[in-house]
Amino acid sequence: MRSAFPELLARQGQPAAIATLVDKTGSAPLPIGTAMVVWQDGTVRGWISGGCVDADVVAVAERVLATGRSELREYGPPSPFGVGLTCGGRLRVLVEPVYPELLTAAAEVASDRPVVLRVDLETGERGVSWSTRAEGASLVGSAFVASFLPRPRLVVVSSTAVTNPLVRLASELGWRPVVVEHRPVFAAQVLGAEVVPRMSGVELDRRCAVAVLSHEPAVDVPAIMAAFSAGSAYVGAMGSAATHRDRVRRLREAGAGRADLARLRSPIGLAGVGGRGPVELAVAVAAELGSAGA
């Protein structure tokens, strides 16, 4: 659902229906909370099943746009008489006109504030609250509940050839990229991310990931130590084996312990991705973020 919010906000006032996967059992390709938006002009964004029932969902959304009445659809295995899921799962899909509470939630998410959206499937009652401790979507009794946390930050230390590809990938994967770069000429080359001159300008926490792309000890060591101190979910640093050995020595001198150093991913990037150009390295780092559970 989160991925639908930017265009919903950009096209406010244009008639649209949103289809949301509110429940599933058995095998199904996409998680609860997945959404598709269908505008009156025929624009469609998103998927519900990855292909099996999406054409039918679009048709239902067009009907909802015409009638103004929500519909709750159920899909199971295919039959000779209708569409279905070849994977054998069962889905429940709520299709409804875009409503004010949805846009309120979208605006909160766009501002990186925590928000919870609740829709009662029996009464149609909708509500928004502003406190949540976890992100996810589920069916709670008769209500579909979607909770959104602020995007976790990916702090990229230094502007290099890898930075912009990594920023683009991270944004697509749900991260909020922040680039730390003190050199104005290189800071000006960063696209699609907030830029700050020092690590002190970034609030680190346990949800953050820190990717150090610099090769300057005066920059690398303080950034890595700050990530260790914050307990950041991922800490990676670029460099050769020789650079890594020298960096570890400097980190020990700065007070890093054995447990901290064991968390450091260096050289940065998941092995086996292939290629070492800037884009390939960005893909390798993004893959390592996922494999580390960050």
To the nearest whole number, what is the mean pLDDT of the chain? 92
Question: What is the percent of the chain with per-residue pLDDT over 90, rounded to a whole number?
Answer: 82
Q: Indicate the SS3 state at residue 167.
A: helix
- How high is the pLDDT of residue 51? 77
Strand partners, 196: 180
Q: What is the mean pLDDT of residues 264-286?
A: 87
Sheet of 71-75: strand order equals 44-46, 35-39, 16-25, 90-97, 71-75
Torsion of CA 100, 105, 106, 111, to 10 degrees: 130
pLDDT of residue 264: 96
pLDDT cut 70: percent of the chain above it? 95
Q: Is 240 helix (H, G, I), strand (E, B) or coil?
A: coil
Q: Which of 83-92, 138-147, 181-190 has the lowest mean pLDDT?
A: 83-92
Q: Domains, the chain, ranges and CATH?
A: 2-148 (no CATH), 153-291 (3.40.50.720)
- This prediction's pTM: 0.82
pLDDT digits (tens, 9 = 90+) for 62-82: 999 999 999 999 998 776 556
Coarse DSSP helix, strand, coil percentages of the chain, rounded to the nearest 5 percent: 35, 25, 40
35 close to 61: Cβ distance less than 8 angstroms:
no
Average pLDDT over residues 284-291: 90
